[in-house]
């Protein structure tokens, strides 16, 4: 089996740009994604795994229609690190953004170990924490991407007490502002077993997607992690890093990404 590729950690910080009145960078031009075969909706839009992300999106839409409560703001979390939740959140957001009638945002809310910015070719200088602390305007922190209609809101500089930030009314106002501006908001959250953040976030969002890495996470750990979800609801489970047999690969025409799209470096 070929070694699993890793997401590039990005090049040097972007250059240029003035300062806004709030102290942040000026409104950004579209950024490039770091080259990675893990971003399947971009590099292999016809792959079976990409189709499964689209199927996940459709299933979430159907659940919302059935419950008469569209799931527009979704938390993506896992039991612990190294289960692929950030990669899952990114690929789901990319699949959602294929819909020309839907404005989609991916927001990095893992203030303990931010990872979303690693998908960018150059590291952003500001994020939503700069908006939260009045160092930048929201429009200056939002990043649009070349090749896609997806917008990204990186974390920015992590605070000393992340849970206090996300429990604040000021943060809830920011989420309401994003809900008003976007049709779908994907929130990349910290692991459930280590931090309370995802559970707090789920009380603001419409539901939580739980990511499990096949062959790594035991049923006992899964049960303990899901027991941490005492607010909102779990709307789905994503089984990540599944190994397929040769028969499966032939039937579904899997290529080299089949069964090995997980990157150990991403949460």
Task: State the average pLDDT over residues 41-70.
Answer: 92
pLDDT score recorded for residue 69: 86
| Cα–Cα distance, 13 to 184 (Å, whole number) | 28
What does DSSP say about strands 151-153 and 184-188: parallel, antiparallel, or unpaired? unpaired
pLDDT score recorded for residue 134: 96
Query: Where do runs of H (alpha helix) occur along 182-243?
Result: 197-204, 219-227
CA triplet 14, 18, 23: central angle to 5 degrees?
100
Query: Where do runs of H (alpha helix) occur along 107-245?
Result: 128-132, 138-141, 162-166, 169-181, 197-204, 219-227
| Cross-strand bridge partners of residue 201 | none
* Statement: 40-252 belongs to CATH 3.40.50.300: yes
Residue 216, pLDDT > 90, answer no
How confident is residue 241, by pLDDT bands cut at 50, 70 and 90? confident
> For residue 49, what is the enclosing H or E element?
helix 48-66
CA triplet 116, 260, 62: central angle to 5 degrees?
65
- Give the closest residue to 238 by CA, choosing from 197, 202, 210: 210
pTM exceeding 0.85: no
Q: What is the mean pLDDT of the chain?
A: 84
pLDDT score recorded for residue 253: 39
* Candidate from 56-70, 92-106, 171-185 with smallest mean pLDDT: 56-70
How confident is residue 266, by pLDDT bands cut at 50, 70 and 90? low
Task: State the average pLDDT over residues 213-227.
Answer: 92
Task: State the average pLDDT over residues 126-133.
Answer: 97
How confident is residue 242, by pLDDT bands cut at 50, 70 and 90? confident
pLDDT digits (tens, 9 = 90+) for 40-53: 999 999 999 899 99
Percentage of the chain exceeding pLDDT 70: 80
Please give the structure tokens belonging to residue 29.
Answer: 């031009």
Q: Which region, left, alpha or beta, applies to residue 253 given φ > 0 means left and ψ of -120 to 50 means alpha? A: left
To the nearest 10 degrees (0 to 180), the angle between helices 48-66 and 85-96 is 80
Residue 252, pLDDT > 70, answer no
């Amino acid at each position: 089996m070929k070694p699993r590729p890793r997401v590039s950690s990005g090049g040097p910080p972007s250059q240029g740009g003035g300062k806004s009145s709030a102290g942040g960078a000026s409104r950004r031009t579209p950024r490039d994604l770091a080259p990675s075969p893990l971003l399947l909706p971009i590099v292999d839009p016809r792959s079976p795994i990409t189709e499964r992300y689209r199927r996940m999106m459709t299933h979430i839409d159907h659940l919302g229609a059935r419950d008469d409560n569209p799931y527009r703001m979704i938390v993506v979390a896992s039991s612990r690190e190294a289960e692929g939740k950030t990669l899952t959140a990114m690929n789901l957001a990319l699949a959602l953004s294929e819909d020309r009638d839907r404005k989609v945002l991916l927001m990095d809310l893992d203030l303990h170990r931010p990872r979303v910015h690693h998908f960018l070719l150059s590291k952003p200088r500001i994020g939503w924490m700069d908006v939260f602390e009045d160092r930048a305007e929201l429009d200056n922190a939002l990043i649009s991407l070349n090749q896609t209609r997806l917008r990204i809101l990186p974390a920015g500089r992590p605070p000393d007490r992340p849970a206090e930030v996300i429990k604040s009314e000021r943060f809830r106002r920011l989420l309401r502002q994003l809900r008003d501006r976007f049709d779908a908001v994907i929130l990349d959250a910290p692991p459930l077993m280590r931090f309370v953040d995802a559970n707090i976030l789920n009380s603001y969002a419409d539901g939580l997607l739980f990511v499990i890495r096949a062959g790594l996470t035991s049923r006992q750990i899964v049960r303990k992690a899901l027991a941490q979800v005492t607010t909102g609801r779990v709307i789905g489970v994503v089984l990540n890093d599944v190994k397929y047999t040769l028969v499966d690969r032939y039937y579904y025409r899997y290529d080299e990404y089949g069964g090995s799209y997980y990157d150990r470096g991403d949460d």
